[in-house]
Amino acid sequence: GLGGRLDAVNIIDPDIALITSIGIDHVEFLGEDRESIGREKAGIMRNKRPAVCSDPEIPNSIIETAKELDADLDLLGVDFQFFEHAETWDWWNERTELFGLPKPNLEGDYQFRNASGVLQVVDALQPRLPVERTIVENMLRTVTLWGRFQTFPGAVEYIFDVAHNVQAVEQFVETLKKHSTSGTTHLVLGMLRTKDRAAVMRVLKPAVDNWYLASVNARRGTRSEELKASLDEVTSVAQVALFSSVSSALKAAEANAVPGDRIIALGSFLVVSAALRHVNKADRYSIGDV
């Protein structure tokens, strides 16, 4: 959520805290660098309670906060490890070895780091909340997460992702490279004013053929004209069109797409919500036509 110290999750007094990756986001509240943001994330840790961090380049501020709280902090690469094989992966710490696990049913190499952090939490709580290996394997095989490289296959493939900061979009593009297509990539992009739009577009540029810039009609939403101004800072592209909503942008992309193409909707939870409603996949996750 919004950091940790300031997030609603902080109303809970946890038995154990898990911090995954630290990216640059919500800088107006959390700070403009990973050390500042790490200190805010560390606000979910508690005095003399265990904590886990699965960021391979952990900010020092998290380690310092753990020392101040006398929290027992376990780190990826130090206290627990993982290794990927062709079809399986291994996870271990000083107490437990789980070899030959099924790969997480989520796209992106970073999901192994996320899953490793979760397994460290599960292992730490085993004496009180025992979880059998069969349950762990079933979790890995069946886990789903709406709006995270969520794909809908077909003659024209849809890919929806809520990525809205540079680090998340970098991960999205890396995952997209492994899903090559012989056709055209149509991107429906909508963002909020608080995000670094030009930086996100710079990362997306090599992966996109046609841009469909959509106004996000919500508080702090960016108009398509503002998105176009940001795109002009990055590149001069001929294949760009502006739309008053996500749904109208998707309709235009569908009209231009041919079999073998793919349509991506990205840039905000609001964008993915509208995209899911557009394809009639999850009305209960939607909040209207944005």
Number of helical H runs and strand E runs in the chain = 10, 12
All residues at 6 or more sequence positions from 154 whose CB lies less than 8 Å from its CB, including other chains: none
Cα(208)–Cα(185) distance, rounded to whole angstroms? Answer: 5
pLDDT exceeds 90 at position 190: yes
pLDDT exceeds 60 at position 285: no
- The answer to whether residues 16 and 50 touch, using CB atoms and an 8 Å cutoff, is yes
**Predicted local distance difference test score (pLDDT) of residue 281:** 58
**Predicted local distance difference test score (pLDDT) of residue 284:** 42
pLDDT exceeds 70 at position 148: yes
Cα(211)–Cα(251) distance, rounded to whole angstroms? Answer: 13
Taking only the tens place, the pLDDT of each residue in 235-273 is 877 689 999 999 999 999 999 999 999 999 999 999 999
Taking only the tens place, the pLDDT of each residue in 24-59 is 767 777 777 889 989 989 999 999 999 999 999 999
Q: What is the pTM of this model?
A: 0.79
AA identity, residue 50: P
DSSP 101-153: EEPPSSSSTHHHHHHHHHHHHHHHTTTTS---HHHHHHHHHH---TTSSEEE-
Cα(48)–Cα(81) distance, rounded to whole angstroms? Answer: 24
Mean pLDDT (the chain) is 91
